Chain A
Amino acid sequence: MPVFALVDCNNFYVSCEKLFDPKLKDRPVVVLSNNDGCVIARSAEVKALGIPMGVPWFKIQQEAKRHGIVAFSSNYALYADLSNRCVEVLSGFTPNIEVYSIDESFLELSGFEGRPGGLMAYGAEIRQRVADWLGLAVCVGIGPSKTLAKLANHAAKKNLAGANGLCDFTTMSQDELNALFERIDVGEVWGIGRKINARLEAMGIRTVRQLRDADAELMRTSFSVVVERTVRELRGVSCLDLQEVVPEKQQIMSSRSFGQLVYDLPELEEAVASYVTKAAEKLRTQHSLAGAVQVYIRTNVFKPEVPQYQRAVTLPLPEASADTRVLIRWALRMLRRIYRPGYGYHKAGITLMNIMPATNQQFSLFASGGAEDVRSHKLMDVLDGINGKYGRGTLRLAAEGVEKVWQMRRGNLSPRYTTEWDCLAVVLAR
């Protein structure tokens, strides 16, 4: 029988910020979304103040001032490094791991039940090691299916069951589980979104227990096999396997809202070129090629009083490519086609599509193959190598521009403490 654990980092982004800055101890801290728009992570102190997730930052300025809330722009370089380190630590506990998101991983733990102290002790060891090695607090939920592991994690985090951020459904009695499941809303179940939740409620299904005991067939006919599977998983029948490797991305998107409106084509060109650069870099790290590129631009839809314009075009490439120069050339041609002067552009983006492994490449009849391709490949290797070593953007194509007036607002970005030599946290010898 499989046994799963869901391990997730508490207040992950905020915890990363607090890890390196001793001044943030016991202070209310939030992390803001791109462009410093909304609150996307809150410290325990902020949660205690009743500030909700997702609230626009400008709406809570007064409150923030009153309580001395410290706000950070998203420092994804820092979060990604700590997330990778966390996965590495977790990999020491089982070879079977699925990285579910930047701060959550599923671990398959069957075979470890027989260790002294059982899975509870193993879970405690996981928490301890992540805390010791990385200074990050995690919660561990254990159950016979992924859905139950996720629910156990929720129970641990909200202190509904278990103790010390750890909850193991496999050691709880049926009566204990029944009582617990009666107290948890069905909307907390993994995969039950707002829409399904509302319809379940209309059917009188409000608690996890009611969903678990619902007629599985009826759930399939009323909703889908997905909900039916959820019911079975709640009963302890594992239907979802560990998806051990993250599937290669089918699309790579790169887009941003601009810090200030952009009117001119050259500025838009720089923005689009730099998005392509970033996406192409990602494409190459997964050894893939893109078969098509989409470009879009739009004005601020939230300001209906100003003239509105938006347009997106997708272009299939003559041959799949991962060459930044090729992708930029196509993207810019499309941008020039859709650009209309006289509008204040608020956002631009590109999407690389039809992504395929680099080994599947088919040369088109009229395309340049052979030597040109090897050269391009080498150039891109050098580009990635240098940027990997000296920091993103060290070496870039002139099309990306130098000034980047359009760049997003990141008013209070903490240093990239772990990924840049120039950003390391100084310690005082005094």
Chain B
Amino acid sequence: MFEPMDILGPGVFIPLIPAPRLSLPLDTVKVSAGFPSPAADYEESRLDINEYLVRNPVSTFFFPVQGESMEGAEIHDGDILVVDKSVRARHGHIVIAFIDGQRLVKRLHHRAGRVALMAENPCYPPLEIQEGMELHIWGVVVGKFKRFGA
């Protein structure tokens, strides 16, 4: 490659040797020989884990879990939760709740005038939501995943 600086400064201007060649790398050229694959008509796209876990990508966020209070719901320390904000929270949903400056994962109880955040572990009592307490349901947990260090 010639260098424009060389033209700017004093010196001899020498074109690049060897001159450019046109070469096509093999793997960008499609070569077809022989019979077409008999499976060609049966091609389907491969399974994508995103498709399984995430229904609405635009409103989906991930939150890792710390703690043991949701073990009964198969949510363990270190799991990553799939949270879809577009799902409307209902009684029985597992939710991300913002309360008292904390981000919690709980099961939402909302029946007969009682609102409570339930744990899924007998060691953790329910958190009753009283008049005047500010509870913000951030989103609904729709799944979880974890990768092992293998």
Determine if A430 and B15 form an interchain contact, defined as CB atoms under 8 angstroms apart: no
Instruction: Give the residues in chain A near B20, CB-CB below 8 Å.
Output: 363, 367-370
Q: Mark B24-66, 1 if CB is under 8 A from A, else 0.
A: 0100100000000000000000000000000010110111111
A370 to B23 alpha-carbon distance, docked (Å): 5
A245 CB within 8 Å of chain B: no
Determine if A317 and B65 form an interchain contact, defined as CB atoms under 8 angstroms apart: no
Least CB separation from B59: chain A residue: A133
Which residues of chain B (98-136) have a CB below 8 Å from chain A? 98-105, 119, 124, 134, 136
Which of A23, A85, A132, A367 lies in contact with B16, CB distance below 8 A?
A367
How many Å from the CB of B10 to the closest CB on chain A?
15
A89, A417, A430: most-surrounded residue (chain B CB, <10 A): A430
Determine if B25 and A135 form an interchain contact, defined as CB atoms under 8 angstroms apart: no
Instruction: Give the residues in chain A near B62, CB-CB below 8 Å.
Output: 424
A369 to B20 alpha-carbon distance, docked (Å): 6
Determine if A374 and B28 form an interchain contact, defined as CB atoms under 8 angstroms apart: yes
Instruction: Give the residues in chain A near B12, CB-CB below 8 Å.
Output: none
Least CB separation from B79: chain A residue: A429
Determine if B68 and A429 form an interchain contact, defined as CB atoms under 8 angstroms apart: yes
Determine if A369 and B22 form an interchain contact, defined as CB atoms under 8 angstroms apart: yes
Instruction: Give the residues in chain B near A367, CB-CB below 8 Å.
Output: 1-2, 16, 20
Least CB separation from B103: chain A residue: A427
A371 CB within 8 Å of chain B: yes
A125 CB within 8 Å of chain B: no
Determine if B124 and A430 form an interchain contact, defined as CB atoms under 8 angstroms apart: yes
Known: A318-B1, A369-B22. A425 touches B58 (CB 8 A): no
Interface size class of A (residues with CB under 8 A): 20 to 34
Known: A25-B101, A132-B86, A426-B66. A418 touches B1 (CB 8 A): no
Known: A318-B3, A427-B81. A22 touches B21 (CB 8 A): no
Which of A89, A315, A418, A429 lies in contact with B61, CB distance below 8 A?
A418
Instruction: Give the residues in chain A near B134, CB-CB below 8 Å.
Output: 25
A23 to B86 alpha-carbon distance, docked (Å): 23
Known: A318-B1, A318-B2, A366-B15. A133 touches B65 (CB 8 A): no
Q: Mark A124-144, 1 if CB is under 8 A from B, else 0.
A: 000000001111000000000
Instruction: Give the residues in chain B near A287, CB-CB below 8 Å.
Output: none
Known: A132-B85, A374-B25, A425-B63. A22 touches B102 (CB 8 A): yes
Size of B's binding interface in residues, CB under 8 A: 47
Instruction: Give the residues in chain A near B56, CB-CB below 8 Å.
Output: 133
B80 CB within 8 Å of chain A: yes
Known: A89-B58, A366-B2. A430 touches B85 (CB 8 A): no
How many Å from the CB of B103 to the closest CB on chain A?
5
A370 to B138 alpha-carbon distance, docked (Å): 54
A369 to B69 alpha-carbon distance, docked (Å): 62
B92 CB within 8 Å of chain A: no
Which residues of chain B (67-82) have a CB below 8 Å from chain A? 67-70, 75, 77, 80-81
Determine if B4 and A427 form an interchain contact, defined as CB atoms under 8 angstroms apart: no
Q: Mark A63-104, 1 if CB is under 8 A from B, else 0.
A: 000000000000000000000010011000000000000000
How many Å from the CB of B114 to the closest CB on chain A?
21
Instruction: Give the residues in chain B near A418, CB-CB below 8 Å.
Output: 61
Determine if B124 and A134 form an interchain contact, defined as CB atoms under 8 angstroms apart: no
A333 CB within 8 Å of chain B: yes
Known: A318-B3, A430-B124. A366 touches B101 (CB 8 A): no
B150 CB within 8 Å of chain A: no
A367 to B1 alpha-carbon distance, docked (Å): 5
Determine if A366 and B64 form an interchain contact, defined as CB atoms under 8 angstroms apart: no
Instruction: Give the residues in chain B near A333, CB-CB below 8 Å.
Output: 5
A23 to B100 alpha-carbon distance, docked (Å): 8
Determine if B98 and A368 form an interchain contact, defined as CB atoms under 8 angstroms apart: no
Which residues of chain A (394-430) have a CB below 8 Å from chain B? 417-418, 424-430
A309 to B98 alpha-carbon distance, docked (Å): 52
Determine if A429 and B70 form an interchain contact, defined as CB atoms under 8 angstroms apart: yes
Determine if A366 and B103 form an interchain contact, defined as CB atoms under 8 angstroms apart: no
Least CB separation from B96: chain A residue: A427
What is A's interface to B at a CB cutoff of 8 Å? 22-23, 25, 85, 88-89, 132-135, 315-318, 333, 363, 365-371, 374, 417-418, 424-430
A-B contact pairs, 8 of them (CB 8 A): A89-B58, A318-B1, A318-B3, A365-B15, A368-B16, A370-B22, A426-B64, A429-B67
What is B's interface to A at a CB cutoff of 8 Å? 1-5, 15-16, 20-23, 25, 28, 56, 58-59, 61-70, 75, 77, 80-81, 85-86, 88, 96, 98-105, 119, 124, 134, 136, 138
